[in-house]
Structure 1
Amino acid sequence: MLKTVIFDMDGVIVDTEPVHKYAYYKHFEELNIEVSDELYASFTGNSTRNVFQKVKDTFNLSHEVEDLILRKRFLFNDAFDTKEDLYLIEGVEDLIKSLHAHGMELILASSASKGTIQRVFNRFNLHQYFSHTVSGEDFPKSKPHPAIFLHAASLSQHPKANCIVIEDSTNGVEAANAAEIFCVGYRSTNSKLQDLSKANKIVNHFNEIDIEAFKRGF
């Protein structure tokens, strides 16, 4: 029986991807490098640190990774704080409230930084529903490595067999698979280049999720 739902954040709970993309490409422009759509798509599910390590290696940059992270974070925070049209993904607030009302434990496992998670959770008042929030910046390897999901499952009050992951990226789905946790793939409008075929179940809208089916673990 399902008792714990582990949520990804970007593209699943809130659509911060356009803000991230703006900040990354603004920074790439400053660095005078051209990042293809395919290369950028491969970053999905990675921590900012691992993204810039890949960028540094790919373009032979002399910059320190830490400096690259700080500049991108500044650009993101500036855009995030001034962007009024930032909303939760359609249907996810109802799903979160319904799962919580049905006694499900909710845990966040996101590649986003702790600061970004805090900004999102404060803006949309989400702390009340989640027992734990886990940031990818605490792990040396990003998704598709399973570390973040294994840690999230270890924080659950229930065994891993009673957990489920909701993801919208190729790397996230593969991480859930590697962690041997049932995965629901959410086909986000911003995940066009993402392969969700390895998810145990795929939904196009959160209203397709039946809470009773969740409780049974599908």
Structure 2
Amino acid sequence: MVKTVIFDMDGVIVDTEPVHRYAYHRHFDELGIEVSEHVYNSFTGHSTKNTYERIKELYGVQGEVKDLVLRKRNLFNDSFDTKADLDLIAGVRPLIEGLYQAGVELIVGSSASKSTIDRVFTRFGLYPFFTHIVSGEDFPKSKPDPTIFLTAASLAKNSDKQDCLIIEDSTNGIKAANAAGIRVIGYKSENSKQQDYTGADYIVRDFREIDAQYIIGLK
């Protein structure tokens, strides 16, 4: 029986990818580098810090990682605050509310920064449903390193790993769940690009096709 669900955020709760893409590529232009679609997609599931560490390795970009991260974050925040059509993933709010009402503990385990998570959760009123927020910025390594999910699972009130379930949309996130030894739903949306879901225990293509009872009853 599933007692705790650990949600990734970007691509699972809200699709902030277009905003991230805009911020990253505008910053890449400022830095004078051209990042291919293949390389950009390989960063999916990574924290911003780890992404820029990789950018420095690949392109010889100068400057401190913390300063690069700050510039990208400012570009993201400016765009986020003015993007009127940003919304939650279809079907995810009823799923979150249903799980909460059924007594399932909800935790976020996201590679996003705390400030980005706060912006999303404040804008869409999600804080009341979640007991803990675990951000990738608190760890030296991003997914597929399992630390973020192991930490999230350790915070659960009444369950151990076998009673936890992760919902992820990226290859790196699914690999992190596998490495943590926690079951994972791969959310394979129409926006999923260059992601491998073979490591997922279950695959869901539309949250509107499942509900809390479906998740609680997963074996």
1:111 counterpart = 2:111: yes
Counterpart code for 1:199 = A
1:64 is displaced (CA, Å) by: 1.1
Match for 1:44: what amino acid? T
Amino acid at match of 2:161: K
The aligned residue for residue 218 of structure 2 is 217
Deviations 1:124-161 (A, max 9, x none): 00000000011000000000000000000000011111
Q: Is this contact kept in 2: 1:108–1:133, CA < 8 A? A: yes
* Equivalent residue number for residue 2 of structure 1: 2
The residue that corresponds to 1:89 in the other structure is 89
Identity of aligned residues (%): 61
Alpha-carbon distance in structure 1 between the residues aligned to 2:78 and 2:214: 41
Unaligned runs of 5+ residues in structure 1 are none
In structure 2, the residue matched to 1:64 is 64
Any idea what the Cα deviations from partners look like across 1:21-77, whole Å, max 9, x if unmatched?
Answer: 000000000011010111111101100000000001100112111110010001000
CA displacement, residues 156-198 of structure 1 (integer Å, 9 cap, x when unaligned): 0111110000000000000000001000000123222111111
State the alpha-carbon separation in 1 of the partners of residues 144 and 177 from structure 2: 8
Instruction: State the partner residue of 2:78.
Output: 78
Mapped to 2, the partners of 1:191 and 1:111 lie a distance apart of 17
185-194 or 120-129, larger mean C-alpha shift:
185-194
Residue type of the partner of 1:10? D
In 2, Cα distance between equivalents of 1:93 and 1:196: 23
1:45-64 equivalences in 2 (<5 Å): 45-64=45-64
Contact 1:17 1:190 in 2 (8 A): no
State the match for 1:98 in structure 2.
98
Q: Which residue of 1 aligns with 2:131?
A: 131
Contact persistence 1:8–1:108 (CA under 8 A): yes
Within 2, Cα distance between the matches of 1:57 and 1:111? 20
CA RMSD of aligned residues (A): 0.9
**How far apart, in 2, do the equivalents of 1:209 and 1:177 lie?**
23
2: CA distance between counterparts of 1:69 and 1:189? 29
Q: Check the 8 A contact 1:3/1:163 in 2, yes or no.
A: yes
CA distance in 1, matches of 2:214, 2:123: 30
Runs of 4 or more above 4 Å deviation: none
Q: What CA distance in whole angstroms lies between the structure 1 residues aligned with 2:213 and 2:9? A: 23
Give the partner amino acid of 1:98.
G
Matched AA of 1:53: E
CA deviation profile, 1:82-129 (whole Å, cap 9, x unmatched)? 110100000000100011111100000000000000000000000000
Matched position secondary structure for 1:35: coil
Q: Is the 8 A contact 1:106 1:129 kept in 2?
A: yes
Task: Work out whether 1:204 is the aligned partner of 2:205.
Answer: yes
- Mapping 1:34-49, distance limit 5 Å: 34-49=34-49
Letter matched to residue 23 of structure 2: A
